[in-house]
Structure 1
Amino acid sequence: MKFSKLVLPGVTMIAVTYGLARFSFGLLLPSINKSLEMSELVSGIISSLFYLAYCVTIILSTVITTREGPRRMIILAGSSAFVGLLLMGITPNVWGLALGVLLAGGSTGLVSPPYGAAISLWIQEDKQGKANTWINSGTSLGIILSGAGAILLTPDWRLTYLIYAFLTFLILIWNFRAIPQVEMRSRLMFEKGRLSIRGVKGAIPLTMASLTLGISTAAFWTFSRSFIEVAGNYSDWQLSGFWVVIGLFGILGGFSGSLIEKGGLPFAYKLGGLLIASASLILAVAPGNWFMAYLSAGIFGSSYIFLTGVLLVWGIRVFITNASLGIGVPFLLLAVGQVIGSTLAGWLIGTWGYATAFIIYGLVGIAAVFMGPRKS
């Protein structure tokens, strides 16, 4: 199968599920808070539903993808994102928003393992690492689209979500036509016992690092935009521009595969961990300075996509007999950490303020640096 025929629809599906359905929530959150009269604690709880849904669906997707192939889960992911975004656009209250968030968040868990399986099935082995990291960087494209939409389309968060739903529907049709049926079912079956991480060399460091990184990044994804709005005198386009910078620099994360090849997995992980921790610390120190705020956004965007690429490669190397499980385990633990981190962030901000909370999350990121892989 041609590289572009699978990678291009894959990039766009990741863009709409991760970028539009999941991470755009932080950009639109201040307007949603005002419209639905939500407190910071409620905002944190609602945001954690994205990650909670992800935790459930990535397990489901890993099992079903392994047994039946990637096509069904990819189509289900697009459908879930479409319905979730539609519900978020028309919701009359917090409960409707929560249901939409669950469906939108669930789409990201559904979509990650099947693309790993699709690449292992239909892309040449020497191009698989590049394909995985570039599809993963589709998140950045979605973040750019969400930020540009906030600047160019409409300040109305409901209409914005409806536009996102329409785009998602178009991408769903593209993937429906592009992803072939699986003919080699035996290549995708789990071996007995492979659903457990017990006895798998390197699995424990991978899970601990993924969990800690998830906690450390949750505050930035959910509350960074609200933080700079409260701390500085920013115009609406500058606030949306902050989000665009995250996405633009996130594209650089697509080069994680190349850096891993040149510098090794431990070096790539440590570099990404230090950078992502510094993003929270920089924002905590100077949220009102647009240059420093944008610098932190650029560092966070590039290092987050970079690190998820590193975790992806690390996971596949640990679970070398099953690409779906290799993606599913680190991404599941990343999401579990974000459930914990997002809920705690709302409480910490309400109790001690934004700056203190972001310093704490930066320190958690530094702690994660010491949990990385030992060998390339």
Structure 2
Amino acid sequence: MSQVKRSLHPELVRGAALTVFGTLLIAATYGMARFGVGLLHPAMAVERPGVAAALPSAATAQFVSYCLAAGLAAPFVPRRSRVVAGVAGVVAGVGCLGLAVSTSAGWFVASAFVGGAGAGLASPALVGLLDAVVPPRLASAAQATVNAGTAVGVMGAGVLAGALDAPSVAWPIMAVLCLAPAAVVVVLTSGTVLADTPAPRTEGRMPNLTLPIAAAVGAGVISAAVWTYGPTEVVARGALEPGQVGLLWMALGLGGVAGAFIDGVVSRWGPRTAFLLFTATLVVGSIGVLAPNLGGWWWPLTGAAVFGAAYMALSGVLILWGRLLDPPRGAAITAWLFIALAIGQAIGAQALGSVFG
């Protein structure tokens, strides 16, 4: 018995370490390099008038690059997940550095495009690596935890936005935070044996993804309003001052931590019912953030916390849904479902530009 425990101990430790640094990589590539654009835009617009009108285009550029990156990653996971994870950190870091020095709309949009690609690479890569490293009985919980890293990232971005007056200082810090966990993930997974050939179950056609893809697109459209226009609208409606907008992202991230605990909900009710429940919650949270100022500063912050919990839960359900449909193809299915989510966000960002722009 003690010999078994000793043989399992390194496996558990490495799985736990990968879960921690995978969470940090998602935190940086999503919560900072990707969603930080909307958070820091009000301050950047004041500091650099040339980027003031570029937010809708930058948001669309990010969503497009995210889709392209996830689509490019799909054929390489899980076989090359380690390389894809490393590239994710580098690409996101380069995008952050570009945003640090952008003073014109063109450079702002181009840098957002580069930064958005990092997140599209990170998710499918980490799904493949976690399935290879974490013991099977803990894999679903680890996947949900890492996915909720976005919440950690938006909290971190909120802290930086509140603590630093200049976005030109915040973005380089975010770049370092993208590169460091990617390097650790690459080191931790050195020597990991990943699938080189499809498992027998994957020799047939891909399972029917019509329902989860449609669900992902719908959730993306709904969520785009808060992710893209939330900070700007809250400031414009007088609920928060420009210097307090980081509180919105901190509340969103704090609520989003709940997304790490969805494994039990999906196991009990199934992914369809869970997704429907969390979509309804997402709508409620969005209304709380974007509605006219009904109750002072606490109203949008409460809405942001509800929105964050719902969004992290929804994206986590997509990962578990794909793994339930076809476990060996879980990483590739995640890529396609997250592409659908991003397509919905791109559609929403453009469609809602005339309402919030």
Asked if Structure 1 and Structure 2 have the same fold, meaning a TM-score greater than 0.5 normalized by the shorter chain, the answer is: yes
Structure 1 counterpart SS, 2:38: helix
Distance in 1 (CA, whole Å) between partners of 2:308 and 2:239 is: 23
1:238 and 2:250 matched: no
Q: One-letter code of the match for 2:273?
A: F
1:191-230 → structure 2 map (5 Å cutoff):
191=202, 194=205, 197=206, 200-201=207-208, 203-230=209-236
**Residues 172 and 283 of structure 1: CA distance in aligned 2, closer, same or farther (over 3 Å):** closer
Query: What one-letter code is carried by the residue in structure 2 that aligns with 1:4?
Result: A
2:274 maps to 1:262: no
* Structure 1 CA distance for aligned equivalents of residues 96 and 310 of structure 2: 27
Corresponding position of 2:326: 319
The alpha-carbon distance between structure 1 residues 90 and 215, as it changes in their structure 2 partners (threshold 3 A), is same
1:78 and 2:84 correspond:
no
In structure 2, the CA distance between the partners of 1:257 and 1:21, relative to structure 1 (3 Å rule), is same
Compute the displacement of 1:187 (Å): 4.9
Q: CA deviation at 1:343?
A: 1.5
The answer to which of 340-349 and 103-112 deviates more is 340-349
- Aligned residue for 2:328, secondary structure, equals coil
1:281 deviates by 2.2
Return the alpha-carbon distance in structure 2 between the equivalents of residues 123 and 284 of structure 1: 40
Is the CA contact 1:320–1:326 (under 8 Å) kept in the aligned structure 2?
no
* CA drift at 1:232: 1.4
Correspondent of 1:252 among 250, 258, 270: 258
Count of equivalent residues: 342
Residue of structure 2 equivalent to 1:301: 308
Among 178, 192, 195, the alignment partner of 2:188 is 178
Q: Which runs of 5+ in 2 are unaligned?
A: 1-10
Counterpart position of 1:112: 123
Change beyond 3 A, Cα 1:266–1:207: closer
Aligned identity (percent) is 23
Deviation at 1:31, TM superposition (A): 2.0
User: 1:37: which partner in 2?
Assistant: 50
Q: Which amino acid aligns with 1:109?
A: G
Paired amino acid for 1:246: L
Alpha-carbon separation, structure 1, partners of 2:108 and 2:243: 25
Distance 2:55 2:243 in 1: 23
Following the alignment from structure 1 to structure 2, what is the Cα–Cα distance between the partners of residues 343 and 51? 11
Q: In structure 2, how many angstroms separate the alpha carbons of the residues matched to 1:144 and 1:329?
A: 27
Secondary structure, in 3 states, of the residue corresponding to 1:306? helix
CA gap 1:246/1:121 in 2 versus in 1, 3 angstroms: same
- SS of 1:54's equivalent? helix
Shift of 1:118: 1.0
Show the counterpart of 1:163: 173
Query: Which residue, out of 271, 277, 281, partners 2:283?
Result: 277
Give yes or no for contact 1:286–1:292 (8 Å, CA) kept in 2: no
Q: Give the alignment's Cα RMSD to 1 decimal.
A: 2.0
Does structure 1 residue 348 correspond to structure 2 residue 338?
A: no
Structure 1 residue 123, shift from structure 2 partner: 1.5
AA at the equivalent of 1:177 = V
* Residues 128 and 46 of structure 1, relative CA distance in 2, 3 Å threshold: same
Q: Counterpart of 1:52?
A: 64
Structure-2 separation of matches of 1:11 and 1:37: 34
How far the C-alpha of 1:192 sits from its partner, in A, is: 5.3
- Aligned counterparts of 1:193 and 1:12: Cα–Cα separation in 2: 35
Alignment partners' CA distance in 2, 1:331 and 1:324: 11
Letter in structure 2 aligned against 1:46 = A
Q: Counterpart of 2:157?
A: 146
| Inter-partner Cα distance in structure 1 for 2:297 and 2:347 | 29
- Report the CA distance between 1:280 and its aligned residue: 1.9
Classify the secondary structure of the residue corresponding to 1:232.
coil
SS at match of 1:258: helix
Aligned residue number for residue 3 of structure 2: none
